[in-house]
Amino acid sequence: MTALRLTHTFNHQGLLGQALTHRSAGSPHNERLEFLGDGIVNLLIAEALFNRWPKADEGAMTRARAELVREGSLAAIARRLDLGAQLTMGPGEMKSGGHRRDSILADALEAVVAAIYLDAGFETCRAVVLPWFEDLLAALPEGKAEKDAKTRLQEWLQARQRPLPLYELVSESGDDHAKMFLARCSLQEPSVAAEGEGTSRRIAEQAAAAAVLEQLAEPKRSHAR
C-alpha cells in the first residue's frame, strides 16, 4: 500500500500546526480540533457508504462505518501520511514513543481533518479526505458489511466445538509512515494455516483469518463437512 500525501495547502498554517500539537506540548493543542474532526470523519464515511451502497440497510452501514473509523484504521492512515514525524509533543511523550501510538495518531488525523474543514470548507475537506479511505472502502464486501473475518472464523469453529485459532506476528517491515505487518493464523482442528498482510497488526490478522476461511470453504475438503 503506497504512502499518502497531505494534498491540501493551508491558507491558515496555524490550523495545521495546532492539529499536529499534542496536549503534552502545551496550548493551543489539538483536542478541540480532534472533537470536531471525529464528527466530520463519521459524516464523510456515512455519506460515502450511503451513496455507494443504495441497497444496504442501516445495520450494514453502521458496521461498515465502525470498521472504517476505528482507531486502528485512522492510525494506519496517519502513518501513511507520516503524521507521527510531524507531531509536536512534550519531551516525556516523545521519549515514550507517543508519535507511534495508535491513539495519538488517530487523534491527530481527526484534528487534521477538522483543520482542513475550517480552512477551506466541507467540499474541499471531502475531496481531500475521502481518498485516504479509498483502499478501505474498496476492501469492504460490495453492498453489505459482513462480520469481520476473525469473528466469522471464531463462530465457524465454535459451532463445531473446535479449538480457537492462534494468531502470531510473523514480521514487520517498512518505515513508520508505511509500515507493513505479516501475520499468521493457525488452526489445530482442522490443521489449516494462512498468512495475511496489512498496514497494522489487526488488519494483517484479519487478512490471515480471511485466507483461512477461504481454505475452509474449498469444496471436497473433509474439514468443511
CATH of 149-224, one of 1.10.1200.10, 3.30.429.10, 3.30.160.20, 3.30.300.10: 3.30.160.20
Give me the residues paired with residue 173 across strands. Answer: 180
Per the structure block, which three cell numbers stand in for 44? 464523510
Q: Are 116 and 40 in contact (CB under 8 A)?
A: no
Identify the CATH homologous superfamily for domain 13-139. Answer: Ribonuclease III domain (1.10.1520.10)
For 107-125, give the DSSP string: HHHHHHHHHHHHHH-HHHH
Around Cβ 66, how many Cβ atoms within 10 Å?
A: 13
175 among known catalytic residues = no
Around Cβ 110, how many Cβ atoms within 10 Å?
A: 25
Output the known binding site: 34, 107, 110
110 among known catalytic residues = yes
- Which pLDDT band, with edges at 50, 70 and 90, does 123 fall under? very high
In this prediction, residue 101 carries a pLDDT of 87
Catalytic residue among 102, 110, 119, 205: 110
C-alpha Rg value of the chain to the nearest Å: 20
Q: Are 111 and 37 in contact (CB under 8 A)?
A: yes
- Whole-number percent of the chain with pLDDT over 90: 56
Per the structure block, which three cell numbers stand in for 45? 464515511
Domains of the chain, residue spans? 13-139, 149-224
Question: Rounded to a whole number, what is the distance in angstroms from the first to the last CA of the chain?
Answer: 37
Q: Are 60 and 132 in contact (CB under 8 A)?
A: no
> For 138-159, how does the pLDDT look when each residue is reduced to its tens digit (9 = 90+)?
888 765 556 778 988 999 999 9
Output the known binding site for Mg(2+): 34, 107, 110
- Which pLDDT band, with edges at 50, 70 and 90, does 116 fall under? very high
Per the structure block, which three cell numbers stand in for 72? 486502528
Segment of 183-187, 207-211, 219-223 carrying the highest mean pLDDT: 183-187
* Sheet of strand 166-173, all strands in order from the earlier edge strand to the far edge: 166-173, 180-187, 192-198
Question: Average pLDDT, whole number, for the chain?
Answer: 88
Catalytic residue among 38, 102, 119, 205: 38
For 190-223, give the DSSP string: TTEEEEEEESSHHHHHHHHHHHHHHHHHSTT-GG
pTM for the full model? Answer: 0.66
Alpha-carbon distance 155 to 23, whole Å?
Answer: 42
Instruction: Write down the residue that cell numbers 474498496 correspond to.
Output: 138
Per the structure block, which three cell numbers stand in for 114? 477538522
- Whole-number percent of the chain with pLDDT over 70: 91
- Which pLDDT band, with edges at 50, 70 and 90, does 108 fall under? very high
